[in-house]
Amino acid sequence: MVGIDWLLALSATMFVIGMIGVLIRRNAIVIFMCVELMLNAVNLSLASFSSFHGNIDGQILVFFALAVAAAEAVVGLAIIIAIFRNNLTVDVGQINLLRW
């Protein structure tokens, strides 16, 4: 098995890809998927630390993070649907109701 530094590097790379996606994309659904990608990247580093330490608590935390991610996806997609119904777009550049 590879060392834990490779797993952490993979996790960091995926996190940064997700962050770049959030910043450059304008489609709200794709931004949301990038947030899921970042959550996954953090889950990977939690799980790898858990396995390398031989301590189960990290994997329990991943389980709870997954449950929270599911709840967050449901509510976020509902919000996207509500916005689309009002504005007929999911382009975050054109949704500026709350912009000062």
As measured in angstroms, the least distance from the Cβ of 99 to other proteins is 16
CB 48 within 8 A of CB 4: yes
As measured in angstroms, the least distance from the Cβ of 100 to other proteins is 19
CA distance 19 to 49: 22
Q: Tell me whether residue 60 or residue 99 sits nearer to other proteins (CB atom).
A: 60
Q: Tell me whether residue 1 or residue 100 sits nearer to other proteins (CB atom).
A: 1
- 11 Cβ partners below 8 Å, 6+ apart? 41, 42, 44, 45, 48
Q: Tell me whether residue 43 or residue 99 sits nearer to other proteins (CB atom).
A: 43
